[in-house]
């Protein structure tokens, strides 16, 4: 069983961990931005805008073909072997030194620029979902029961092609860019495991960027917001213990199935939009298990699900309401119960300075029709939150088209038409962010 916070083995990581927890506890924007001036490369004045656009345009055909190859081989969290091999192969073709086997299947590389600057990081996630694909594309999943229906195939290719452009623009690149391809995002633990495996390198990069496919925006639109952008997530399991017996004599048994049904029914009342007495939160059940035969009342049954919350106060309040509801139902039904919180992932906090940089780079490189502002945080979660606890980070949404099927559904397919802006914004951010020093601080 996994505990809420991972066990950190070495002293350096322990220090980081304590710092993280302090940062999370005190919340909000505790970042202090320290500016160390480097020479600035103006995209517009130096013709870099045209250079970047040309570089991206030239690789698009190849990028689409590569995206389809990744799409064909979706793999389970922490089993992304073929995917990681293909990522490493592509990076080696660019002449880069590749680190493999980080946190199991993670891959990382560094692009060293020829100008003076900082180190920043780009992160892509590689895993797929246990959902049978129902698209009719010629490149549909060849792995039965699995599909890239969260768009991570597109994230991989955006990061790979950004790397390709940065390698070609090494002369103009200040500092270095660390690119990491992580396993197990869907599992909620891959980011932390990559941090524990020192995938970010040392010293830590001064900023980290990632993007995620987003069906709620037109194809190719890049959008983000400052501050909170995704919720925190707790994974729970409730095991209810009763007294099993013959299906013909339910009065002689205490059915855990009835208890589980009552709990499931009451869980929807815990979710709220932040009005009345309920904080903004989402509680849902994703798995029910119990019993093996139709005429046998089992001894125990279980449900698993998630609690999403936007801050620590709301999280504690929701967990308390949740636990008290389970306790009330079980005592009424004379059932025993255990509640296990299996894993936790913090919310993604976008650093305000990085959001400002995103707006600036967007205005220089991306046409206005392909830019948008996100006003509300999502109740979805991203283990990128583990990175933004540690260093300034920015998560960008990349539009898949308003008619796109939703993420985590069998018909979803990453939009190839979005690759151009996805790659362009990452190239621009990497090149600009290495010219600035974004430092994290506590206590202000």
Alpha-carbon distance of 221 to 96, in angstroms, equals 30
Minimum CB distance to Zn ion, residue 385 (Å): 13
Stretch that binds Zn ion, among 3-11, 150-158, 194-202, 223-231 (CB under 5 A): 150-158
For residue 382, give both structure tokens. 């991203």
Q: 397 pairs with which residues across the strands?
A: 212, 223
* Per-position b or e across 333-344, b if 16+ CB within 10 A of its CB: bebebeeebbbb
User: Which is closer to Zn ion, CB of 29 or CB of 409?
Assistant: 409
Alpha-carbon distance of 406 to 157, in angstroms, equals 20
Q: Across 126-277, where does the E strand assignment appear?
A: 174-182, 208-214, 222-224, 227-228, 232-241, 245-246
Binding mask 3-42 for Zn ion (x = CB under 5 A): ----------------------------------------
Stretch that binds Zn ion, among 97-105, 143-151, 243-251, 424-432 (CB under 5 A): 143-151
Stretch that binds Zn ion, among 114-122, 148-156, 256-264, 360-368 (CB under 5 A): 148-156
Binding mask 329-348 for Zn ion (x = CB under 5 A): --------------------
Task: Report which residue's Cβ sits closest to Zn ion.
Answer: 150
Identify the sign of the CA torsion 148, 150, 154, 158: negative
Count of residues engaged in binding Zn ion, rule: CB under 5 A: 1
For residue 175, give both structure tokens. 């500092």
Minimum CB distance to Zn ion, residue 399 (Å): 15
User: Which is closer to Zn ion, CB of 175 or CB of 188?
Assistant: 188
Give phi and psi for 202, each to the nearest 5.
Answer: -135, 135
Element (H, E) at 121: strand 115-125
Among 56, 96, 102, 150, binds Zn ion (CB under 5 A): 150
Peptide linkage before 409 cis (omega within 30 of 0):
no
User: Which is closer to Zn ion, CB of 223 or CB of 260?
Assistant: 223
Alpha-carbon distance of 14 to 319, in angstroms, equals 27
Minimum CB distance to Zn ion, residue 407 (Å): 6
User: Which is closer to Zn ion, CB of 333 or CB of 413?
Assistant: 413
Stretch that binds Zn ion, among 57-65, 110-118, 142-150, 314-322 (CB under 5 A): 142-150
Minimum CB distance to Zn ion, residue 299 (Å): 34
DSSP 8-state symbol, 208? E
Minimum CB distance to Zn ion, residue 11 (Å): 33
Minimum CB distance to Zn ion, residue 408 (Å): 6
Query: Is position 86 an interface residue for Zn ion (rule: CB under 5 A)?
Result: no
DSSP 8-state symbol, 7? P
First and final CA of the chain: distance in angstroms? 37
Alpha-carbon distance of 223 to 366, in angstroms, equals 11
In sequence order, the 6+-apart residues with CB closer than 8 A to the CB of 239 are 300, 301, 302, 337, 338, 340
Minimum CB distance to Zn ion, residue 150 (Å): 3
Minimum CB distance to Zn ion, residue 129 (Å): 7
Alpha-carbon distance of 135 to 410, in angstroms, equals 7
User: Which is closer to Zn ion, CB of 241 or CB of 308?
Assistant: 308
User: Which is closer to Zn ion, CB of 121 or CB of 150?
Assistant: 150
User: Which is closer to Zn ion, CB of 150 or CB of 221?
Assistant: 150
Query: Is position 396 an interface residue for Zn ion (rule: CB under 5 A)?
Result: no
Minimum CB distance to Zn ion, residue 233 (Å): 11
Residues that bind Zn ion (CB under 5 A): 150
């Amino acid at each position: 069983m996994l505990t809420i916070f991972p066990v950190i083995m070495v002293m350096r990581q322990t220090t980081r961990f304590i710092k993280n927890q302090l940062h999370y506890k005190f919340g909000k924007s505790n970042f202090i931005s320290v500016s160390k001036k480097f020479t600035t490369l103006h995209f517009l004045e130096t013709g870099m805008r045209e250079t970047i656009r040309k570089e991206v345009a030239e690789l698009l055909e190849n990028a689409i073909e590569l995206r389809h190859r990744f799409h064909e081989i979706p793999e389970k969290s922490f089993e992304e072997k073929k995917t990681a091999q293909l990522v490493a192969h592509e990076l080696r073709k660019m002449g880069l030194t590749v680190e493999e086997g980080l946190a199991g299947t993670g891959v990382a590389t560094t692009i060293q620029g020829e100008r003076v600057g900082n180190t920043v990081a780009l992160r892509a996630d590689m895993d797929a979902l246990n959902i049978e694909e129902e698209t009719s594309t010629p490149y549909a999943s060849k792995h039965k029961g699995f599909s890239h229906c969260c768009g991570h195939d597109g994230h991989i290719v955006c990061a790979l092609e950004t790397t390709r452009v940065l390698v070609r623009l090494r002369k103009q690149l200040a500092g270095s860019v660390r690119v990491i391809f992580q396993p197990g995002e869907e599992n909620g633990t891959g980011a932390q495991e990559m941090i524990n495996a020192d995938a970010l390198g040392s010293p830590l990069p001064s900023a980290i960027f990632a993007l995620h496919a987003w069906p709620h925006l037109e194809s190719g639109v890049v959008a983000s917001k400052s501050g909170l952008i995704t919720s925190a997530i707790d994974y729970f399991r409730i095991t209810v213990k009763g007294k099993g017996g013959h299906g013909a004599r339910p009065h002689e048994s205490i059915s855990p199935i009835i208890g589980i049904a009552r709990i499931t029914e009451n869980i929807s009342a815990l979710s709220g939009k932040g009005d009345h007495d309920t904080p903004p939160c989402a509680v849902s059940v994703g798995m029910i298990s119990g019993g093996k035969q139709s005429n046998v009342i089992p001894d125990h049954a279980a449900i698993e699900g998630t609690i999403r919350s936007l801050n620590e106060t709301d999280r504690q309040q929701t967990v308390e309401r949740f636990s008290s509801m389970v306790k009330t139902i079980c005592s009424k039904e004379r059932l025993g119960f255990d509640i296990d919180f299996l894993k936790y992932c913090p919310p993604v906090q976008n650093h305000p300075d990085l959001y400002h940089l995103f707006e600036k780079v967007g205005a220089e490189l991306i046409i206005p029709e392909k830019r948008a502002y996100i006003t509300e945080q999502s109740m979805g979660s991203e283990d990128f939150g583990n990175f933004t606890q540690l260093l300034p980070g920015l998560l960008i949404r990349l539009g898949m088209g308003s008619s796109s099927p939703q993420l985590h559904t069998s018909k979803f397919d990453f939009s190839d038409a979005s690759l151009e802006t996805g790659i362009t914004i990452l190239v621009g951010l990497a090149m600009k962010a290495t010219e600035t020093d974004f430092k994290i601080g506590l206590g202000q």
